[in-house]
Structure 1
Amino acid sequence: MSNPVYIKIAEEIKNKINRAELKPGDAIASEAALCKEFGTSRMTVRKSLAILANEGYIYSIPGKGNFVRKPQHNKYILYYDEMNNAINSVDKTKLLEVNIIMPDEKLADELQITRNKNVIMIRRLFYTDGDPVAYDVKYLIYRKGMPIVEKEIEHATFTEMISGSTSLFAIKKELTIYARTPDEDIKRYLNIYNELALMVVEQKLYNSEDKPMGLGITYFRGDYIKLQGISQ
């Protein structure tokens, strides 16, 4: 099955940009010219241009037209799933605790709530081939009537835990990644007996109004984690 016309137009312009026939700052052919070249409607051409703009190839200046965007070489798309990475995937989880707590000052500040607001704390261990590879803690803002099903929580990703209260498409995510040495509790959980470092990934989820919904912190053994990103 051949691609729709608007896809063909977008791909042709992409190819010209990738072959450097069109360089950053160069003007794209006008809508009228593209309509004539491809024998199609202005609406079809606009769908093509919208694709190119969404993918970062072009930008528009009202009254002047569309232009090739300068690529952002320092921008990467990072793929993150606490259950899978480039080295291993989690094949078993162990639920350590599900509890309702009162947040300390730091956690209340992270979640933008008062200290008398209840928070659900979930602690888990992740395993690969029988070995513990990550210690995982999630903090979810408690809402009245919010169901807590331990069997579902044990194997769920962070977004799956809150998917019942909001659309997955409306969730915004923020990652912070850093290295640290493990404390004695984490050493015990992850069977660390040397100076092995941890990679810590903090994941904060927001609703469509940019209000925090939860904070997740996963402590990975340094020998069982590798994250990858691709440039835009």
Structure 2
Amino acid sequence: MSFPIYIEIYKDLKQKIFQGDWNPGDMLWSENELAQKHQTTRLTVRKSLAMLENEGFIYSVPGKGYYIVQPDHSKYTLLFNELNNGEKNTSYSKLLGVDAITPDPEVKQKLHITGEKKVVVILRLVYSNEEPIAYDVKYLPYDRGKPIVEKEIQYATFPDMVAKKSSPFAIKKELSIFTEPSKPKINKMLRLKESEPLLVVEQSLYDQEDQPIGWGKTYYKGDYMKIKAYSYFVGVR
């Protein structure tokens, strides 16, 4: 199968980068050199270089040329779903309650709540093989004009809950992962011993203006939860 010449040049240069023919910071061949090498025009070469630049493999310095980027391997992609995350199969979640409450200081601070404004708290218990493995608590700003339908949130992820009230494309997410001792209420829910450590995943959701639109925690049994993240190439100057 033949490809357009600019695709062939792009593929050839990308292969050379992966082979280590150039090191980070090295200057790439000039447009003229690439055009002569592949017997084509500089305009065609620029299309190939633009593809590599858009993918983060190279960057340009006006008046000088193109350079190989320094890969950043400190970034990972973490896949997280509070209702189905870990080594075991999650069979279902149980909705414990949905209420409008007066938030405590921590919730007020997380959601930027002022005055006497209420929030919606959603409580769920997550099961695997009929055993409770996670206690889930989520808070949303209370909006009298947009009620929450319980049957729609029992099996919904946190972004899905918020998407009922705003566009799913506008949601920004932040995760924090840490451990803490369990509390009496959680002990009872998850059938744990006193102060048995829990893995906690804290989620914060924001709109396009970086205003908080949701916050919550999921408390996992330590022998259930397993966090996995994947490293992939991200180019930076």
TM-score bracket for this pair, using the shorter chain length = 0.7 to 0.9
Q: Which range moves more in the overlay, 43-52 or 64-73?
A: 43-52
Report what 1:97 is aligned to: 97
Q: Identity over aligned residues, as a percent?
A: 43
Deviation by residue 1:29-61 (Cα, 9 ceiling, x = unmatched) = 4456656638574674365134322xxx33333
Q: How far apart, CA to CA, are the structure 1 residues paired with 2:155 and 2:6?
A: 41
Equivalence for 2:140: 140
Is 2:54 aligned against 1:51?
Answer: yes
Shift in CA distance, 18/43, structure 1 to aligned 2, threshold 3 Å: closer
Which piece of structure 1 moves more, 160-169 or 146-155? 160-169
- Which residue number corresponds to residue 216 of structure 2? 216
**Residue in structure 2 matched with residue 117 of structure 1 by the alignment:** 117
CA contact (8 A) 1:58 1:68 kept: yes
Whole-angstrom CA distance in 1 between matches of 2:5 and 2:145: 50
Q: How many residues align?
A: 229
User: In the alignment, what sits opposite 1:24?
Assistant: 24
Larger Rg: 2
TM-score (norm 2): 0.84
Q: CA deviation at 1:230?
A: 1.6
Alignment deviations for residues 42-94 of structure 1 (CA, whole Å, 9 cap, x no partner): 674365134322xxx33333443332221223222222111222412421110
What aligned pairs does 1:1-232 form with structure 2 within 5 A after superposition? Answer: 9-30=9-30, 37=38, 39=40, 41=44, 44-45=47-48, 47-53=50-56, 57-193=57-193, 196-232=196-232
CA distance in 1, matches of 2:139, 2:87: 26
Note the C-alpha offset of 1:193. Answer: 2.8
Give the alignment's TM-score, normalised by structure 1: 0.86
Whole-angstrom CA distance in 1 between matches of 2:191 and 2:217:
19
| 1:4 Cα offset (Å) | 7.3
| Shift, 1:213, TM fit | 0.8
Aligned partner of residue 73 in structure 1, secondary structure: coil
Is residue 30–residue 65 contact of structure 1 (8 Å, CA) maintained in 2? yes
How many angstroms does 1:111 deviate by?
Answer: 1.2
Q: Secondary structure at the match of 1:109?
A: helix
TM-superposed deviation, 1:130: 0.5
The letter for the 1-side match of 2:48 is V
Q: SS state of the match for residue 224, structure 1?
A: coil
- Residues 30 and 209 (structure 1 numbering): CA distance in 2 closer, same or farther, change over 3 Å? farther
Give secondary structure in 2 for the equivalent of 1:166. coil
Contact 1:137 1:217 in 2 (8 A): yes
